[in-house]
């Protein structure tokens, strides 16, 4: 199963419904909702944290959090 | 402030221009206070809404949601839950950013459900066409069932509309929930919750349960019933998740009808700038360059006004002495108060320049990129990317820096940041560094452009940072604190800094510093003057003794007067204190006069310069006006050489780099950590390190 952490720069995915219980409330509140489109924008030079755009919000999150959020990759 | 003023609470996500709006509404009619029990700054200002109506506007800390994850954000919840009836707002003004309207409306929907009259101000509408956004305002008003105003706070557009909306909203005093939380989640559960009390809205009761925060007005019976709801924690968590998703669904429905983004019309420089600023080489290079520019300019730009302030106060003191009636009061003024005030004023240039740079970096959105770049590195040392901001702010003053750690939600990471921040070179160390560097390091250029003195100063900053990082690593490995680390940072859009916001920020922080630390410095200057001009019996006899002893020598009047002054100082209370610690500090290369300055520096470092100013002005003869620097340079040691020679200077620099010598910082650490344990660890750990390091440096160099 893919997670946000497995996206490549520029790639887009959709947060899967089953992730709901693993998304911290704060991230949910910032727009990281099941079904939302998430794009990986940048990875920090030391591979962590990562910079994503989800639901229009530009956020930096740590890899450990990203690994918990499952996604479906968009078919390009 | 009359009773008829409307109390308005200003709330919004970070980076929405909340501060700009606050500044536009209140102008310079602002004051900063404290919330009871916590040290979060409470900014309030008066705004003239109409010819007859004023409002008191409270600027609450920026937050993404009413559910707090940090100390800062908990203030918002406490204010809104009417902890204190006098503080509870009549109208809430929510600021949203046009580009992130969806996310901003989440907070709005929570606030609306509190059933307090609410005005929504959508900011940065001047960016609409550039972002390809269009909005149906009248429909949005209807759907949100509230006053909605489009504004551009930076361009001062729409501010009058906001004022009118506040009045209308206050008069109508109608408030209804937007989403309501009961229907879709668990009607039964929420019905039972609502039955507990008719005095609160359902959402208020829900917040009391989930956030364990109760208004003063709640009865013990009601509280007991609410506590019963807290039993099933996993259910609470699940319902909070569902609530958030439900809110977003409602918001999406509304925005679908009222808010259109045409991405093809959007032009964005964000991605281009991000590629450079977060690049693995350029990113760090730019950050290092910015730090270099900041520190070089502190030394270069600030030296002119500092020298001016230094000499002005020396002249002022001299003027007072020669033009006022001689006596105790004149002495107090000329030797106590004037040098004391001068010792405070002299930092203003450096502090203002530092706060100016920090404010610009934060305003432009660049600081978030630094957090992003630095998180992984900082984590290895038990800190957080967000720790970078306290560590940089610490170069101005540790007090606001320690307060800035409140955004770090992991307790261990926050504690470590608090403990090591005082190692960074604060501006109170700068006058000490500046004067010692000027005395022992030659003023010349190396490689034709680098100022050697500036370079030494830069190395001291590097030493401070390196020690902070090293101390953090040791604490990271030794502190056994379990705390969940969670990290999320918004990467705001880049924007040009608003001059008004930056200036207000600089003025406010400088003022707080001068008034806060300034009081301690001034009070100590006066105490010092007293201790230096009074003493036991030997002090009173010293003048007579000197005259008797030198009867056989042919001394000029000036030399005799100097001898008397010197003997007096030696026998004064402060002289006795300095002498009694001389055996301890001798191995570091210091004499008893430096000892006096060390003693007083334990109250606050900057007092070092003020103390020496007082000591040397007490000692100096009246006819010669010289600056502190000149006085220090002419001091001689036992062997007849310069007292402030290279080994002593280096030893002092290292001592001041490491020692914990700031009462105000210790007090703030106690307040933030709620125990004396951590400030005491700082006091003894840092000062012990300072003593050992200075001992080694002096012994090697001399």
Would you list which residues of B are annotated within the binding site for GTP?
12-19, 37-41, 59-62, 123-126
Q: Into how many domains does chain A fold? A: 1
| Inter-chain CB proximity A59 and B100 less than 8 Å | no
High-pLDDT (> 90) share of chain A, %:
49
The C-alpha of A69 sits at a distance from chain B's nearest C-alpha, in angstroms, of: 14
B508 contacts B359 by C-beta, under 8 angstroms:
no
Check the CA dihedral B683-B689-B691-B694 and report its sign.
Answer: negative
| Inter-chain CB proximity A45 and B248 less than 8 Å | no
Over 70: is that where the pLDDT of B613 sits? no
What DSSP element (H or E) covers B251?
helix B233-258
DSSP 8-class letter at B662: B
What DSSP element (H or E) covers B57?
strand B54-59
Give bridge partners of residue A72 from the DSSP assignment. A14
- Is-cis flag, bond preceding B687, omega within 30? no
Please provide the average confidence, as pLDDT, over all residues in chain B. 84
In the numeric block, the tokens 């030659």 are attached to B442
Q: Does A9 touch chain B (CB under 8 A)?
A: no
Over 60: is that where the pLDDT of B691 sits? yes
The C-alpha of A1 sits at a distance from chain B's nearest C-alpha, in angstroms, of: 23
Helix ranges restricted to H, B333-410: 338-345, 348-364, 366-380, 388-393, 398-404
- Higher-confidence position of B552 and B318: B318
Residue A14 to residue B380: CA distance in whole angstroms: 31
Please tell me which of B1-10, B351-360, B463-472 the model is most confident about, judged by mean pLDDT: B463-472
Which of B491, B492, B495 to mutate against chain A (most A CBs within 10 Å)? B491
B633 contacts B645 by C-beta, under 8 angstroms:
no
Q: Which of B150, B65, B57, B143 is nearest to B104 (CA)?
A: B65
DSSP 8-class letter at A50: E
- Is-cis flag, bond preceding A49, omega within 30? yes
Give bridge partners of residue B91 from the DSSP assignment. B8
B466 contacts B377 by C-beta, under 8 angstroms:
no
Which of A26, A31, A45 faces B280 most closely, judged by CB atoms? A45
Helix ranges restricted to H, B122-215: 128-131, 137-144, 159-172, 182-185, 187-194, 202-211
Which of A16, A17, A26, A41 to mutate against chain B (most B CBs within 10 Å)? A26
Residue B243 to residue B150: CA distance in whole angstroms: 28
- Higher-confidence position of B642 and A47: A47
Q: What is the DSSP string of B501-551?
A: HHHHHHHHHHHHHHHHHHHHHHHHHHHHHHHHH--SHHHHHHHHHHHHHTS
Residue B359 to residue B499: CA distance in whole angstroms: 10
Is residue B65 helix, strand or coil?
coil
- Nearest-5° angle of CA A57, CA A62, CA A68? 90
Comparing alpha-carbon positions, the chain A residue that sits nearest to B373 is A44
Q: Which of A44-53, B25-34, B67-76, B488-497 has the lowest mean pLDDT?
A: B25-34
CATH of the domain at A55: 2.30.30.90
Please tell me which of B101-110, B192-201, B347-356, B637-646 the model is most confident about, judged by mean pLDDT: B101-110
Would you list which residues of B are annotated within the binding site for Mg(2+)?
23, 26-27
DSSP 8-class letter at B111: H
Q: Which of B188, B219, B182 is nearest to B201 (CA)?
A: B182
Comparing alpha-carbon positions, the chain A residue that sits nearest to B234 is A21
For domain B6-172, the CATH architecture is: 3-Layer(aba) Sandwich (3.40)
Q: Which of B177, B251, B201, B154 is nearest to B500 (CA)?
A: B154
B340 contacts B525 by C-beta, under 8 angstroms:
yes
**3-state secondary structure string across B456-497:** HHHHHHHHHHHHHHHHHHHHHHHCCCCCCCCCEEECCCCCCC
| Inter-chain CB proximity B487 and A62 less than 8 Å | yes
- Could you read off the pLDDT of A7-32 as tens digits, one per residue? 999 899 999 988 888 888 889 999 89
Q: What is the pLDDT of residue A19?
A: 80
| Inter-chain CB proximity B67 and A44 less than 8 Å | no
B535 contacts B575 by C-beta, under 8 angstroms:
yes
Q: Which of B273-282, B539-548, B606-615, B686-695 has the lowest mean pLDDT?
A: B606-615
Average pLDDT of B597-606? 78
Domain residue ranges of chain B, discontinuous segments joined by +: 6-172, 182-265, 519-701
| Inter-chain CB proximity A41 and B376 less than 8 Å | no
| Contact residues on chain A for B270, CB-CB shorter than 8 A | 58
Give bridge partners of residue B157 from the DSSP assignment. B152
Q: Does A12 touch chain B (CB under 8 A)?
A: no
Which of A20, A24, A57 faces B100 most closely, judged by CB atoms? A57
Q: What is the pLDDT of residue B623?
A: 45
Give bridge partners of residue B488 from the DSSP assignment. A61
B149 contacts B119 by C-beta, under 8 angstroms:
yes
High-pLDDT (> 70) share of chain B, %:
91
Pairing of strands A37-43, A50-54: antiparallel
Mutual angle of helices B677-701 and B663-673, in 10-degree steps: 140
B572 contacts B539 by C-beta, under 8 angstroms:
yes
ipTM of the predicted structure? 0.94
B563 contacts B551 by C-beta, under 8 angstroms:
no
Q: Which of B499, B588, B485, B570 is nearest to B533 (CA)?
A: B570
Residue A24: domain span: 2-73
Over 80: is that where the pLDDT of B514 sits? no
- Higher-confidence position of B307 and B64: B64
| Contact residues on chain A for B376, CB-CB shorter than 8 A | 44, 46-49
Residue A31 to residue B475: CA distance in whole angstroms: 35
Task: Using alpha carbons, list the distances in angstroms from residue B670 to B34, B346, B673.
Answer: 16, 28, 5
Radius of gyration in angstroms for the set of CA atoms belonging to chain B, rounded to a whole number: 30
| Inter-chain CB proximity B490 and A59 less than 8 Å | yes
Helix ranges restricted to H, B534-661: 537-549, 557-571, 573-585, 592-601, 607-619, 628-633, 646-658
Q: How far apart are the first and last CA of chain B?
A: 64
Q: What is the pLDDT of residue B2?
A: 47
């Amino acid at each position: 199963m893919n997670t946000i952490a497995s996206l490549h720069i520029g790639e887009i995915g959709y947060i899967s419904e089953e992730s709901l219980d693993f998304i911290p409330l704060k991230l949910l509140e910032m727009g990281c909702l099941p079904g939302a489109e998430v794009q990986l924008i940048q990875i920090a030079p030391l591979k962590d944290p990562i910079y994503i755009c989800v639901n229009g919000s530009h956020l930096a999150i740590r890899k450990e959090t990203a690994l918990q959020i499952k996604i479906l990759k968009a078919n390009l | 402030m009359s009773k008829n003023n409307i109390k308005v609470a200003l709330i919004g996500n970070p980076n929405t221009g909340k501060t700009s709006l606050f500044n536009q509404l209140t102008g310079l009619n602002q004051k900063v206070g404290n919330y009871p029990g916590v040290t979060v700054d409470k900014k309030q200002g008066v705004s003239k809404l109409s010819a007859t109506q004023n409002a008191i506007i409270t600027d609450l800390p920026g937050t993404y949601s009413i559910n707090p994850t940090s100390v800062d954000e908990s203030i918002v919840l406490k204010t809104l839950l009417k902890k204190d009836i006098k503080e509870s707002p009549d109208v809430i003004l929510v600021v949203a950013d046009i580009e992130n309207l969806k996310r901003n409306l989440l907070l709005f929907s929570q606030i609306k459900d509190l059933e307090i009259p609410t005005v929504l101000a959508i900011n940065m509408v001047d960016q609409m066409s550039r972002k390809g956004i269009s909005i149906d305002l009248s429909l949005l008003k209807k759907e949100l069932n509230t006053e909605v105003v489009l504004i551009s706070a930076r361009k001062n557009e729409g501010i009058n509309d906001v004022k009118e909306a506040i009045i209308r909203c206050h008069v109508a005093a109608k408030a209804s929930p937007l989403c309501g939380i009961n229907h879709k989640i668990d009607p039964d559960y929420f019905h039972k919750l609502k039955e507990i009390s008719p005095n609160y809205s359902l959402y208020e009761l829900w917040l009391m349960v989930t956030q364990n925060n109760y208004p003063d007005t709640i009865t013990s019976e009601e509280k007991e019933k609410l506590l019963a709801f807290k039993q099933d924690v996993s259910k609470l968590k699940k319902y909070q998740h569902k609530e958030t998703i439900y809110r977003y669904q409602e918001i999406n429905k509304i925005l679908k009808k009222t808010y259109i983004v045409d991405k093809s019309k959007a032009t964005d420089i964000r991605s281009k700038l991000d590629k450079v600023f977060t690049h693995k080489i350029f990113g760090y290079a730019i950050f290092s360059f910015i730090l270099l520019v900041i520190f070089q300019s502190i030394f270069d730009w600030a030296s002119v006004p500092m020298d001016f302030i230094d000499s002005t106060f020396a002249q002022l003191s001299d003027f007072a002495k020669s033009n006022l009636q001689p006596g105790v009061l004149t002495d107090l003024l000329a030797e106590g108060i004037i040098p004391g005030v001068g010792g405070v004023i002299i930092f203003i240039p450096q502090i203002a320049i530092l706060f100016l740079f920090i404010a610009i970096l934060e305003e432009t959105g660049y600081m978030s990129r630094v957090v992003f770049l630095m998180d992984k590195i900082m984590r290895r040392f038990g800190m957080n990317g967000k720790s970078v901001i306290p560590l940089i702010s610490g170069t101005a003053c540790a007090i606001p820096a320690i307060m800035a750690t409140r955004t770090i939600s992991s307790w261990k990471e926050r504690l470590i940041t608090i403990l090591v921040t005082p190692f960074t070179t604060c501006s109170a160390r700068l006058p000490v560094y500046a004067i010692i560097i000027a005395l022992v390091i030659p003023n010349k250029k190396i490689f034709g452009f680098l100022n050697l003195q500036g370079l030494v100063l830069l190395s001291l900053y590097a030493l401070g940072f390196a020690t902070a990082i090293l101390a953090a690593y040791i604490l990271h490995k030794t502190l056994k604190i379990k705390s969940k680390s969670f990290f999320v940072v918004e990467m705001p859009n880049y924007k040009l800094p608003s001059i008004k916001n930056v200036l207000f920020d600089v003025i406010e922080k400088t003022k707080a510093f001068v008034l806060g630390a300034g009081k301690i410095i001034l009070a100590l200057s006066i105490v010092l003057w007293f201790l230096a001009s009074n003493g036991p019996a030997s002090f009173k006899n010293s003048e007579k003794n000197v005259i008797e002893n030198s009867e056989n020598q042919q001394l000029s009047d000036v030399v005799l007067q100097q001898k008397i002054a010197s003997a007096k100082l030696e026998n004064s209370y402060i002289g006795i204190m300095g002498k009694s610690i001389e055996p301890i500090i001798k191995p570091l290369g210091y004499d008893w006069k430096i000892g006096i300055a060390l003693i007083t520096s334990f109250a606050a470092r900057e007092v070092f310069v003020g103390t020496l100013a007082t000591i040397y002005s007490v000692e100096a003869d009246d006819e010669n006006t010289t600056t502190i620097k000149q006085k220090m340079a002419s001091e001689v040691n036992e062997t007849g050489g310069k007292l402030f020679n290279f080994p002593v200077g280096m030893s002092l620099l290292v001592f001041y780099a490491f020692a914990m010598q700031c009462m105000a910082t210790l007090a703030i650490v106690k307040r933030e950590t709620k125990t004396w344990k951590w400030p005491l660890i700082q006091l003894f750990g840092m000062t012990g390190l300072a003593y050992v390091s200075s001992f080694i440096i002096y012994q090697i160099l001399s």
